[in-house]
Every structure is written in structure tokens, then in C-alpha cells.
Structure 1
Amino acid sequence: MPQIQERARTETRTASCQCGAVRLELTGKPIVAATCYCQSCQQAGQGFEALPGAPTVVGADGGTPYVLVRKDRLAWLSGSEKLGEHRLKPDSPTRRFVARCCNAPIALEFTRGHWLSVYSDRIAAEERPAAEMRTIVGDRPAGIELPGDIPNYRTPSGKFLWRLLTAWAAMGFRAPPIEATKGYAG
């Protein structure tokens, strides 16, 4: 058992922007890999995609894939000064980090939470965990049918919330801050 725990703690992934200037190291097993269909993720993703040279964020089915990681298990390796912050509303507790160098969204943070949702496509394919569930599928675009290969939840499921809670407990019920970034003019 100790070997399994040690391996989970030392597992690492790197997330980066398109040009590689911004890099983030993720250590340990992710909380969950999920695809979100909420209106906010669709709206923000479509806005990012309209920026010059920006990558695709929202899938053809309206979903945005994320890998959720504990905030105490991430480190900016390079380029954090190139990050911009985007909020759909000025007082929103949700902010998205975007690499200003190449307009690539990197991650989403619920500022009061203990996790960071990294855009899955920012992680190299060979390191990227497969989505385990789809969440808030009730907000997907009209006419989109989702396959049954993984669970499709209309709202955040008990399993999703349990994973967040157990990660928070493992962190001693702390929510470390993420370093501040300059305002994003996107």
C-alpha cells in the first residue's frame, strides 16, 4: 500500500500554453477528469476561441474538458507573468487563466475552492487522463446527443462532489491561493 500512495504523490504532468512559454507542473493523482457543459464554460470558451491564434476550447458537443487538481499540488514552472485573468462578470468567484503570449486558456479557478481545473488540451496527450464523467449536461446545445461511454450528469454528481470533498479533507480543509495575475484584456 505505501508504494501505491508514494506513486500517486510523485505522479507528475505538465500543462502548457500553445507556444510553451507558460508551463505548469501538476503533481499527484488528479481529483477527477471531467467535461463540463455549463453555460459559463461555453460562453468563456467561445470568447477565447475568437481571440487571434487561440486554440479550440469547446468541443463540437458543447463540452469543455478539464482535469481537476489540488491547488497544493501545482507549481508554475515558467511564464506566470504572461498569464492574464478573465472573469465573465467583475465579481465572479470563477476566474480563468489565459496565456497572453498565444491566447491559450490554461485553467479555471473557483477562487474560494481548493482545486484548479486545467483545460485538458493543455496537458500533453500521453499524460492526459481520459474524461471520467460529463457534468451539467443539461446545458449542452440543443440537439446534441451524448454517448453513454461515461456517466452523463445533469448537475454535479455525488461522485464528483465526493471527490472534491475527499481532496479537501486530505488538504486539511485548506484552500491555498493561486498567485495573482495581471488583468486580462480579452
Structure 2
Amino acid sequence: MIRDASDMKRIAACTCGAVTLEMTGKPIVAATCYCHSCQQAGRRFAAVPGAPAVVGADGGTPYVLMRKDRLIWLSGSDRLDEHRLKPESPTRRFVARCCNTPIALEFTKGHWLSVYSDRIAAEERPAAEMRTIVGDRPEGVDLPDNIPNYRTPSGKFMWRLLKAWAAMGFRAPPIEATKGFAQ
């Protein structure tokens, strides 16, 4: 039986399982980002005791982009801390302080949440469909051509974001405020 993607549910969780996030429906896109900001954040997270890696050996950070209106914190949202590379940064990363696990990245003015792919169980994790901002990858890294490699966010990537935003009525809802982090 083919399952309707609109009712598909996936769970993202921290390493110890105290923080869980339910994602409903088809992702906007599954991609691997090579931008300098993702690499810098990944190095910072890797320096924290017990934190699982988010950046691969090739310098890429795999994400699953989900509409914000299709997310529910099932547990542990009060255990989240936000991390920004700079205080004025428009992006914030959510980290479960119980086990130092990075969970997701939010572009605060956007309508999506980028969930770190490794937080989703392997059997439920969508495969990456593209690599983006590959021009920022570490020197000497050659990428295979099994999926598209884009130097910048591609038209396909931007089109999917725009379609998702239109489906949401051009709203950008905030991630529900919790005790763990401020809006």
C-alpha cells in the first residue's frame, strides 16, 4: 500500500531521547549544505563534550527542511537552548542541553525549520536530493555527481521554498515559544 505523504509522520530526537519533534507531511527538501556558517556551527558543536557531529567528513551538513506549521515538539522543548553564531544572526540553532545534541536550525524570518538529518531514525530519513552552497566546501573536497551539486541555492531549492510558503498562505509562523529559548 502506498502511503499518502500528507499524513506521513517522522520523529526527530536528541541522542538521549528526552527531546522529540514530530514532523508531519512531505519535507520541502532534503539537502546537504556546505556554507561557511554550517561548517562553523558544526565545529563549535563538535567541541562540546558528548555532542554528536552534524558536519560530515566532506564539510556538508545534511538537513530535512520542514514547514513550521507541520511541526510539534512532543517532549523536552524546555530542554532546548538556542545558539547563534553572532547575536544579530537571523539564524538560530536549537540544541538539547540534556545531551548536547543539535536538533535543528531556524531562519527566524522563514517559514521552515531545517532539522539535522541524523536526528531522524535512519529508516524514516529521506535521502538528500541535492547539495547546496558547494562553493564553500573545504578545499580539496571532491563531491560525487550522484545528486545535483549547486554552488548557490538553486532555482529548484528556492521554488520548493516558495511553493511551501504559498501553501501556508504566505505566513511564517514562529516556532512555539518554550521555557528553553526566547522568540
Where 1:41 maps in the other structure, the secondary structure is: helix
- The 1-side partners of 2:43 and 2:129 are apart by 23
Among all aligned residue pairs of Structure 1 and Structure 2, give the percentage whose two residues are the same amino acid: 81
- Pick the aligned partner of 1:24 from 14, 21, 24: 21
- Pick the aligned partner of 2:73 from 72, 76, 87: 76
**Superimposed CA distance per residue, residues 123-151 of structure 1 (whole angstroms, 9 cap, x where no aligned partner):** 00000000000000000000000000000
Would you say how many aligned residue pairs link Structure 1 and Structure 2?
180
**Superposition deviation, residue 42 in structure 1:** 0.2
Structure 1 equivalent of residue 105 of structure 2? 108
Which aligned pairs between 1:82-161 and structure 2 lie closer than 5 A?
A: 82-161=79-158
Where 2:164 maps in the other structure, the secondary structure is: helix
- The 2-side partners of 1:127 and 1:183 are apart by 28
Indicate if the aligned counterparts of 1:94 and 1:109 stay in contact, CA closer than 8 A.
Answer: yes
Letter in 2 for 1:79: G
TM-score (norm 2): 0.96
TM-score (norm 1): 0.94
> Which portions of structure 1, spanning 4 or more consecutive aligned residues, are displaced by more than 2 angstroms?
179-184
Letter in 2 for 1:174: R
**Superposition deviation, residue 183 in structure 1:** 5.5
Indicate if the aligned counterparts of 1:45 and 1:58 stay in contact, CA closer than 8 A.
Answer: yes
Structure 2 equivalent of residue 9 of structure 1? 6
- The 1-side partners of 2:111 and 2:53 are apart by 27
Return 5+ residue gaps in structure 2 as ranges. none
Aligned residues: CA RMSD: 1.4
**Superimposed CA distance per residue, residues 50-91 of structure 1 (whole angstroms, 9 cap, x where no aligned partner):** 101000111000000000000000000000000000000101
Return 5+ residue gaps in structure 1 as ranges. none
Letter in 2 for 1:44: A
Structure 2 equivalent of residue 48 of structure 1? 45
- The 1-side partners of 2:53 and 2:83 are apart by 17
1:62 matched to 2:83 = no
